[in-house]
Amino acid sequence: MRIHNVVKFLTLTSAIAVFAAATTSAVSAEFPTKPIRIINAFKPGGATDTAIRGLTQSSDSFIDQPIIIEAVTGGGGVTGILKAAKSKPDGYTLLVADTVMTTLPLFQKNLPVSAEDFKPVGVFNLRGAWLLTRPSKGWNSLDEFVKAAQAAPGELTVGVPALSSPQHMTVIALEDHYEIDVNIVPYGGGAPTMAALLGDQIDAAMPGAPAGLDSINAGDAVFLVASTNIELKKFEGEIISLKDEGVNHDLGIWTAVWAPKDTPNEVMARLVEIFGAMATSLEWTDFARGYGVTPIWKPGAEAATYIEESGKSMADLAGLIK
């Protein structure tokens, strides 16, 4: 009798499992059945916002539902990231965020949210920062900037979008490699950083490329060096990177689409499929190179490994802060 009951129980359990698997498979095959919302935790019009809008411009070629970009700013990105983490893990609310996901915890302790609250759908672009100055400073190369910094320790001011940003880490890498000390000033975004430079409030700026491109081409700003190799079709000159100068740090700024960590694997697989198609489309790659970012696609587990390695590099740089 007991054996009979066990057999009945196992049969019933197996039937439930098969039904659940079939149901989940059907759900993932139909996904999405309503609009997908992507939370951008940073300012509208910035590099992250422009990138995700460029990526999703061809979404109607791959899914029948619209993709809506919603800006939720504040707290250096924490407000939007937290909102995305607390959303229902069904694949319909996602997050777009860049390297800040790994640098924020280095500067803000006891954060209510972190990268561990998400699973990456994929990394879809790579961009860099660049060191710019004004023509009036008389510096036309990185070497001239370094000599000026060495001559006045702690006096030269360099603007960055935020103290927890990859751009901040790039200035730290400069200080470490060239044994200089500069005064780093945060401005709350790339645009305000450029405004401070052009307004003669700081000596140099380290915004994320391509911020400042028009100013360079117009002769109002001078390019000194890029944090990493970058593609800028509209740049009128030669791009020299810190890697070319012998600075051995991973200073690329990646951007990724994320889903809450409890999103079902089947839905994650469908999201990877959808965003992978967009990230390898001609529409996106042409847009990216024209805008000034390098289109790449690292899905799922590959993205997680890539992000982890980037985080280690940023942590090493954070440890150098005086």
**How high is the pLDDT of residue 38?**
98
Is there a contact between 156 and 148 (Cβ–Cβ < 8 Å)?
Answer: yes
**36-126+254-318 has which fold?**
D-Maltodextrin-Binding Protein; domain 2 (3.40.190)
User: Is the Cβ–Cβ distance between 250 and 99 less than 8 Å?
Assistant: no
Residue 179 has pLDDT above 60, yes or no: yes
Q: What is the pLDDT of residues 292-310, one digit of tens each?
A: 788 999 999 999 999 999 9
Does domain 130-226 sit in CATH 3.40.190.10? yes
If 0-12 CB within 10 Å is exposed, 13-18 middle and 19+ buried, where does residue 228 land?
Answer: buried
Confidence of residue 275 (pLDDT cuts 50, 70, 90): very high
In the prediction, which pLDDT does 184 show?
A: 97
Residue 322 has pLDDT above 80, yes or no: no
Average of pLDDT values for 66-89? 94
Name the residue with higher pLDDT: 169 or 190.
169
- Where do the domains of the chain lie? 36-126+254-318, 130-226
User: How many other CB atoms are there within 10 angstroms of residue 306's CB atom?
Assistant: 18
The reply to whether the predicted model has a pTM over 0.75 is: yes
- Note whether 294 and 128 are within 8 A (CB): no
Average pLDDT, the chain: 88
pLDDT for residue 39 is more than 60: yes
Report the candidate in 321, 302, 253, 297 with the shortest Cα–Cα distance to residue 101.
253
Looking at the chain, how many residues does it have? 322
* 8 Å CB contact between 149 and 182: yes
| Across 119-148, average pLDDT | 96
What is the pLDDT at residue 29?
Answer: 61
pLDDT, tens digit, 9 for 90 and up, residues 83-103: 999 999 999 999 999 998 988
Answer whether 36-126+254-318 and 130-226 agree in fold: yes
Residue 27 has pLDDT above 80, yes or no: no
